[in-house]
Amino acid sequence: MPGNRHLRSLLSMTTSVETTKSALYSPSATYEDWRRAVEQELKGGSIEKKLVTRTAEGIDVQPLYRRDDCSALALDAVHGAASGLRESRRAGGPAWRWEARTGAAGIEFSPLPALALALTSSRPAAAASVPADPVGWLLSHGSLPMPLSSCFDDLAEGVKEADRVGSSGRTVGIGAEIWHESGATAVQELAFAIATGAEYWRQLIDRGITPAQIAARAQLGFAVGVDFFMEAAKLRAARILWAKTAGGFGADGDAQNVFLAARTATWDKTLYDPHVNLLRITTQAFSAVVGCAEAIDIRPFDEVTGNATELGERLSRNLHEILAKEFCLEHQVDPAGGSWYVEVLTDQLARRAWALFQEIERQGGMVKAVLAGYPQGLVAKAAADRQALVDTRRRPILGVTVQPNLREEPRPVPAAAAPAGTRRRSVPKPIKSFSALVAAAGKRTTLPTLRIAWTQKRDSGPTVTALRPFRGAEGFEALRRAGDEYLARTGQRARVFLAKMGPVRQHKGRADFSTGFFAVGGFEIDGRKSFTTAEEAADAAIASGAAVAVLCSTDETYPELAPAFARRIKAGKPALTVVLAGHPAECEPEFRAAGFSEFIHVRSNVRATLAELQRLAGVLS
C-alpha cells in the first residue's frame, strides 16, 4: 500500500540520519566525516554556497570552526586569550566589573581639549566622561572653531595639567561611535579609531608627552551593534590593535593598554514597536561585556523618540545588574577567549583593520585623510550597502520591515535638535586664559557657553565633509507614518485587494508574502476569497474599492491568468494599480503591456516599491 511504502521510506531515512549522527559523535570522527554528512543533508548542495556567509567586512563566516583554525594564532596560556587582549585581568584575581553608564551619565566627548581639561579640573565627578576628541568633533560637525594645531596644543596641556592636579580623568578620547552610527563596517571602525589614536600619539609625543602619560589619559569608545559575535570580536580586536600601535610609539607593558568604553548603538533602534529595542540593547550590552569593555553605556530603549521615559532609563540601569549578578558576568575574564570562532573572527578583523590603517598612514595620517575625504567616502559606500540590505529586507528589522503591528499608536517624528548656532543665547565674554576657563567651568557654566567663550577671536579651524549618522529603519518608518497620516485624513487605510487564484496550495505562498510586504507600508489587506477565473477575480478587485490589486498564483499559471486579469481591470477601472506577486522575467514586457505596474518578489527593493505604490494609491502627495 502507498502508506506502507511511505512509512518504509521514512524509517529508512531515519535510520540513515541516526547512522550519520552516530558516526559524527564517534571520537574518531573527522572534519571530512562532518563534510560528507552535511553534503548528504544538503542533497549534493555546496557547503560553501549554502552555509558560508560573507559579511560586510569581507569575512567568510564558516558553519564550523575547529582547533586547527586557531593553530596559526598567537594565543597565551590564559584561556587562549590573544596577547595584549586582557590588560592585567587574569583568572584568580579579584572580581572585575565594568563602569555602568546610563542616560545622562553616559559617555560624552567634549569638542575641545581645553574644555575637557577644565571640567576635569573643576568637576571631579565629570572627569571620566568628557575626554576631548577634536578629530571626532570635526567629523561630527564638519568644522572646528579653532585650528587643529591649537586643539593639539590644548590636548597636550590637558594631559600635563591633569597629571599636575592628580586627576584620574581621561582627557584624550577617540570616539569611534560616529563611524558605526554613520554606517561603517567593523573593520572601518577599528581602522579609523586606531588611525585617530596614532594621530594623537604623534601630536602629543611631539609636544613632550610620554607614552605612559598618554596611556593613562586615553579612552577608546565604540558603539556596539546587534551582531553579537562580530561586535564582541570588534572590541577584542581593538585592544590588540591599540597595543600594537602603542608599541610602535615606544609604549611597553601597561602603557600598551587602553581604557575601552562601549555604548549601545542607535543605528538598529526603531520608533515603531519600540519594546523590541529592549532585546537589541540586551544583546548589545552582552556583546560589550564579552568584549571586555571597561565602561558600558546602555541607552534607554525608547531614547530614539527624543524623550526617553523613566521606565526606559530604569530598565537600562537594571540591565547592568542583570548582566552582572544574574548572568555572573562581573567575574568574567574574557569569556570569549578560546572560542575558535571568536578567536578567528578577532584575528581576521584585526588583520583587515590593520591593512586599512596602513593605507591611511600612507596618505599622511588620519588628519590628512579626513581633510581629503577618504574615510568619509569609504563609509558612505558602506552605509549605502548596509541600507540596501535593509531596503530589500535581507537585513530584516523586526516590527518595521517584517511583522509590523498596524494597530500600534502612530509614532511622531522625533523633534530634531536645533542646528549649532541657531539657538538664541547671549554671547559670553571671551575667556583668554586657562585658569579663567577652569573657574568658569567650576561655576557650572554649560559646555556650549564655554566653547563660545574660549574660541572667540581665534582663527577658525578646517572644514571637512561631515559624517551623517542615521538609523536603518528611518525610511520604512516614513512609509508607516505616511500610512498613519492617510488613516487620520480619510478614516481608513489604503487598501490592497489580493486576487488569490485556485486552491490554497496554488496561492498561499505568494498571498502570505504579499500580506507581509504591504503591511510594512501601512496598507490594509483584503484577501478573504479565492477565485477560479481571472475575470471573476478582476471584477471582485474593481468592486472592492481597493487602491491596489495583487494577483497571487504560480509562475506556471501566470501566462494564462495575468494578461486577462490586468486587461479586465484596466478596462473597468483604469486608476486601479495592478501588481503581480512574483517575477517571471521572460513575461514581464507582455505583462506590463497588459497593465501591470509593479512586480513584488524576494529581490524587490521593498522601500522604493512601497513608496511608489503609496504614491499611486494617493497616500503620498
More confident residue, 429 or 129: 429
Q: Are residues 538 and 572 in contact, defined by beta-carbon separation less than 8 angstroms?
A: yes
pLDDT of residue 23 exceeding 90? no
pLDDT of residue 268 exceeding 60? yes
More confident residue, 543 or 427: 543
Q: What angle do CA 105, 110, 114 make, to 5 degrees?
A: 130
Name the least confident of 109-113, 310-314, 596-600: 109-113
Instruction: Write down the pLDDT at residue 437.
Output: 62
pLDDT of residue 135 exceeding 70? yes
Confidence bin at 107 (pLDDT 50/70/90): very low
pLDDT of residue 129 exceeding 60? no
Q: pLDDT tens across 279-293, in order?
A: 999 999 999 999 989
| Residue whose C-alpha is closest to residue 191's, from 357, 363, 345 | 357
Q: pLDDT tens across 555-582, in order?
A: 999 999 999 999 999 999 999 999 999 9
Q: pLDDT tens across 64-105, in order?
A: 999 888 887 865 433 334 445 555 444 444 445 677 766 543
501/606 Cα distance (integer angstroms): 24
392/609 Cα distance (integer angstroms): 10
pLDDT of residue 169 exceeding 50? yes
Q: Are residues 102 and 96 in contact, defined by beta-carbon separation less than 8 angstroms?
A: no
**CATH number of 99-300+309-394+425-455, picked from 3.20.20.240, 3.90.1300.10, 3.30.70.870, 3.30.470.20:** 3.20.20.240
Confidence bin at 158 (pLDDT 50/70/90): confident
Name the least confident of 152-166, 357-371, 377-391, 432-446: 432-446
Confidence bin at 598 (pLDDT 50/70/90): very high
Q: Which residues of 458-482 are buried (b: 16+ CB within 10 A; e: fewer)?
A: eeebeebeebebbbbbbbbbebbbb
pLDDT of residue 441 exceeding 80? no
Task: Enumerate residues 6+ apart whose C-beta is below 8 A from 463.
Answer: 142, 143
| CA dihedral for 497, 499, 503, 504, sign (positive or negative) | negative
Per DSSP (E only), the strands in 505-576 are 524-526, 530-531, 548-552
Instruction: Write down the pLDDT at residue 284.
Output: 97
Instruction: Write down the pLDDT at residue 410.
Output: 75
Q: pLDDT tens across 245-266, in order?
A: 999 999 988 889 899 999 999 9
pLDDT of residue 380 exceeding 50? yes
pLDDT of residue 376 exceeding 60? yes
CATH of span 490-616: 3.40.50.280
End-to-end CA distance of the chain: 64
Name the least confident of 15-29, 43-57, 281-295, 315-329: 15-29
Instruction: Write down the pLDDT at residue 557.
Output: 96
How crowded is residue 90: how many other Cβ atoms within 10 Å of its Cβ? 14
- Give whole-number Cα distances, 285 to 176, 304, 401, in Å: 17, 17, 24
Confidence bin at 108 (pLDDT 50/70/90): very low
pLDDT of residue 388 exceeding 90? yes
- CA contacts within 13 A on the Cβ side of 592: 10
Instruction: Write down the pLDDT at residue 539.
Output: 97
Percentage with pLDDT > 90 across the chain: 61
More confident residue, 586 or 88: 586
Assigned C-alpha cell, 151:
586643539
Confidence bin at 20 (pLDDT 50/70/90): low
- CA contacts within 13 A on the Cβ side of 260: 30
| Residue whose C-alpha is closest to residue 248's, from 209, 174, 198 | 198
Confidence bin at 154 (pLDDT 50/70/90): confident
pTM above 0.85, yes or no: yes
Instruction: Write down the pLDDT at residue 612.
Output: 96
Task: Enumerate residues 6+ apart whose C-beta is below 8 A from 29.
Answer: 23
Instruction: Write down the pLDDT at residue 522.
Output: 95
Name the least confident of 408-412, 435-439, 497-501, 614-618: 435-439
Q: Are residues 561 and 578 in contact, defined by beta-carbon separation less than 8 angstroms?
A: no
pLDDT of residue 369 exceeding 80? yes
pLDDT of residue 310 exceeding 60? yes
Instruction: Write down the pLDDT at residue 526.
Output: 96
User: For the chain, which residues make up each domain, given as ranges?
Assistant: 2-52, 99-300+309-394+425-455, 490-616
pLDDT of residue 351 exceeding 90? yes
